[in-house]
Amino acid sequence: MKAWARRFIPASTMAHPVHRPRRLRRSPVLREMVRETRLDPGNFIYPLFVVEGRDVRRPIASMPGIFNLSLEHAVAEARLAKSLGVPSVILFGIPDHKDGQGTQGYARDGIVQRAIREIKAAEPDLQVIADVCLCEYTDHGHCGVLEDGHVVNDATLPLLAQMAVTCAQAGADIIAPSDMMDGRVGAIRKALDEVRLVDVPIMSYAVKYASGYYGPFREAAQSTPKSGDRRGYQMDPGNVREALKEAALDVEEGADMLMVKPALAYLDVIRAVRERFDLPLAAYNVSGEYAMLKAAGQNGWIDYERVMLETLTGIKRAGADLIITYHALEAAKLL
């Protein structure tokens, strides 16, 4: 029918829509009933940055609301997370002394090993994840042993394995290697099994991109490389087939869970990994993503709480079972 002709036909005789999706959007209760993707505090993992000293609660300028914490404050923050229904924390240690081999990363009395012991003593049921990487512990800021300006893959593997073992012996529930060295999952699995820690699972940062979104983290962890960058071992942002290859290799080496990092610019990668593999999948809602929302919220450009929950919902909808996020406590309070 021509558009001009419709003006002369009574509304009562015109055809009505057969399908009315709006019927299920009429009220908050109805919308909640039919919601396909639901957030829950049990989906979240909360990152903590642990430093030496006493009574340290140092704000991280680029990450409002996040702090460098001495042990007693890290324990208090972990307790708060648990009380809000967040079941897990992931720990990053910042030592007073750094060297070329990152020895404080795998020292039995290192800062992260002590933090694991104290948090587990205070909250035995809280799942403590140990991030395993050398970047916070090396004086050059790279994730492995550096020779002639290059990170040496195979020389790094024993150090990562040693760090995994000392963290697991300290009480870590999950080991999460984030270094992106080839073969590190297999090396860590072998080392854990050799000391009869066969039940400690590995959450592999299987798909970790060389991203500009990590800037605020490097301030928090004091881990910016002094020379070069990490593009020689972290993934190129344009690649998704390679992501599936990396994930498949980690599964073959014994990973129990997989991770994609970052999250927001890589929702398609989360979906691709989810569709290919049946293992539990985590996504890291990284520091730059957090900082952007915080800055926009503080400037009044967005409704911060609404956009925060929308962002986390999008990450879960893409296929993530677990979300590592600095928003964890705020989101848990709202949920």
Q: Under 8 Å CB-to-CB from 67, ≥6 apart: which residues?
A: 49, 57, 58, 59, 60, 73
Distance between CA atoms of 108 and 1, rounded to whole angstroms?
A: 80
Query: What are the backbone angles phi and psi of residue 257, rounded to the nearest 5°?
Result: -140, 155
Q: Under 8 Å CB-to-CB from 166, ≥6 apart: which residues?
A: 106, 107, 108, 110, 113
Distance between CA atoms of 255 and 204, rounded to whole angstroms?
A: 6
CB 168 within 8 Å of CB 130? yes
Whether 190 is catalytic? no
Burial tier of 294 (Cβ tally within 10 Å: 0-12, 13-18, 19+):
buried
Whether 208 is catalytic? yes
Active-site position among 208, 245, 294, 333: 208
Active-site position among 261, 294, 316, 333: 261
Hey, which residues are catalytic here?
A: 208, 261
